[in-house]
Chains A and B, each alone.
Chain A
Amino acid sequence: MTDGPAPVLAAELIRWSWVGDHLDDIRGYLFQHVELTGLALLFGIVLAFPLALAAVRWPRLYGPILAFTGVLFTIPSLALFILLIPFTGLSIRTALIGLTIYTLLILVRNMVEGLRGVDRDVREAAQAMGFSATRQLFQVELPLALPVIMAGVRIATVTTIGLVTITALIGWGGLGRLFIDGFTLDFTTPIVVGIVLSAALAFAADLLLVAVQRQLTPWARSRRS
């Protein structure tokens, strides 16, 4: 055994004192992570909804809409951010445009499948009762499509929480910034904190969405009782 500094990487995965010293930074990154995820989902839903409605109303549009959002989905995320920089610079808009685009495929597909999955008898009954098309959509079809739509929202949310870290490369990134810090400092603690927190965030977000869904679909809850 020789004296001298212990090999840091091997000996300790996490140095708690560093965590204690950087609590404010970590909290800021976490908030930014939540903010980016939340806004991306919000914009994603707002954009996906009319696309899904159009696809349900005019089935011929569904193919092209899926193909288009599918192509967007396959663009490597890093490339997409780089492509956007000439237009929107390193602003939050760049991060949000990219993140939002990636939610579209999942959201549109689940919205369309959810709306299409509404029982034909139920839809007909609504029409025959004298619902206007808009009321029928909001009071009958959307509530019944909600479980499938929420499944999409959950996948999109978890996916986005992972993707947000990439935006660290254009100066955002939420918890992703911890990876960059750890990498540049050759120091594991921030990386571990980043991984644990983003996994926890994804888990918490998913639980929250399940709870929201249960609140919104009381009829499905009683199905088990």
Chain B
Amino acid sequence: MITFESVTKRFADGTTAVDNVDLEVPEGDLTVLVGPSGCGKTTTLRMVNRMIEATSGRIVVDGRDVAQVDPPELRRRIGYVIQQTGLFPHRTIGENIATVPQLVGWDRRRTRDRVGELLELVGMPAEVRDRYPHQLSGGQRQRVGVARALAVDPPIMLMDEPFGAVDPIVRSRLQDEFLRLQQEVRKTIVFVTHDIDEAIKMGDRIAIFRQGGHLEQYAPPDELLAEPASDFVADFLGAERGLKRLALIPVSAVKAESGPVVTPDDPGQRAVAAAEAYGSDWVVVVDADRRLLGWVHAGEAAERGRVGDAEVRPFQLQVLAADSLRAALNAMVQSRTGVAVRVSDGDRYEGIVTMELLSKEIS
């Protein structure tokens, strides 16, 4: 756990970079510090490992006031990842990852084994061990940066815009990979970014800073989007706050409606009745095992006499329980039916999600 107690940083020229911040980063959580440039988020991060010294207040890491710990010793127990990765260009990938183990005096074999383990953990092939950083792509370097920070398995990690220097596609993949990794390693992480979408995606909790080092709001992303504490926060979150919230909520959070359902062998009149009862002009078609087949116009089914004789149109997009409501919304707007169909892993029909259900959830 990391606790900031009334921490202030004033630079020699008189500017206040961080203004009386109180913040608690729970064990095993990823806390994102986000805000416009000059808001003190990076300064806040760097006070944790004393790259910058606080002017007043206390920062407590695992029960110890960092001001009482010798900086090199403190830093070896805190993983650090920075934007351009800061890999040592004169050391091979293996040597880079082995940096902290060497500093704390691990023996050769233990270090070597650990390097192999870490390369695997971040999804890098073993051959890269003897390459130099400039021989790797930006995304690969970033993974090595993470591996290096994890080398001695520090309980705490500081990450300063770690995915800032790669293109959006690679960034998104690195974010996903890192979230999976974090599920496994459960580090206490402080993560700095200026990108609110990255903050919402990555953070268990988000601290929004504004210029002058004021902490405006500190809350889980969902709460932040639902109830921004100030106009500044609302502005910073952007106009599509509702959409961003939808991205955070899983489909399983809303109770799917059963909807009008028929099988191909049902008579057309049955489809008309089901559609009328539901208030639509279409019905969902499933087979005897409730596997989703598609949908048909109720009227067309009635004309043909049997549901299976009408044209069964597929739902282009289906959602799983674990997908976000944003994915469900996307499925709705892309379907003529105006609803999203929820299926299980085995393509079994579980119900439909409607716009009303969505707006009930986020308002």
Chain A residues close to B by CB (< 8 Å): 119, 121-122, 124-132, 135, 140, 143-144, 217, 219, 222-223
Interface size class of B (residues with CB under 8 A): 20 to 34
Q: Assess the B86–A219 pair: CB atoms within 8 A.
A: no
Kindly identify which residue among A127, A140, A217 contacts B88, using a CB–CB cutoff of 8 Å: A140
Q: Assess the A130–B103 pair: CB atoms within 8 A.
A: yes
Kindly identify which residue among B86, B132, B135 contacts A122, using a CB–CB cutoff of 8 Å: B86
Contacts of B51 in A (CB 8 A): 124, 127-128
Kindly identify which residue among B83, B99, B131 contacts A129, using a CB–CB cutoff of 8 Å: B99
- Closest Cβ neighbor of B77 among chain A residues: A130
Chain B residues close to A by CB (< 8 Å): 49, 51, 71-76, 80, 82-92, 99-100, 103-104, 131-132, 134-135, 148, 158
Contacts of B100 in A (CB 8 A): 129-130
- 25 A-B pairs within 8 Å (CB atoms) are namely A121-B82, A121-B85, A122-B86, A122-B87, A124-B82, A125-B85, A127-B75, A128-B51, A129-B75, A129-B76, A129-B80, A129-B100, A129-B103, A129-B148, A130-B71, A130-B72, A130-B73, A131-B72, A135-B103, A144-B88, A144-B89, A144-B90, A217-B90, A219-B89, A222-B135
Contacts of B148 in A (CB 8 A): 129
Q: Assess the A125–B80 pair: CB atoms within 8 A.
A: yes
Known pairs A121-B85, A130-B71, A219-B91; list 6 more (Cβ under 8 Å): A124-B82, A125-B85, A126-B88, A128-B82, A140-B90, A143-B90
- Closest Cβ neighbor of B100 among chain A residues: A129
Q: Assess the B88–A122 pair: CB atoms within 8 A.
A: yes
Q: Assess the B87–A125 pair: CB atoms within 8 A.
A: yes
Tell me the complex Cα distance, A130–B49, Å. Answer: 9
Contacts of B91 in A (CB 8 A): 219
Chain B nearest CB: distance from A215 CB in Å? 13
Q: Assess the A130–B135 pair: CB atoms within 8 A.
A: no
Q: Assess the B103–A128 pair: CB atoms within 8 A.
A: no
Chain A nearest CB: distance from B28 CB in Å? 22
Q: Assess the B75–A130 pair: CB atoms within 8 A.
A: yes
- Closest Cβ neighbor of B151 among chain A residues: A129
Chain A nearest CB: distance from B2 CB in Å? 16
Q: Assess the A121–B84 pair: CB atoms within 8 A.
A: yes
Chain B nearest CB: distance from A196 CB in Å? 39
Given the interface pairs A129-B103, A130-B103, the reply to whether A124 lies near B86 with Cβ below 8 Å is yes
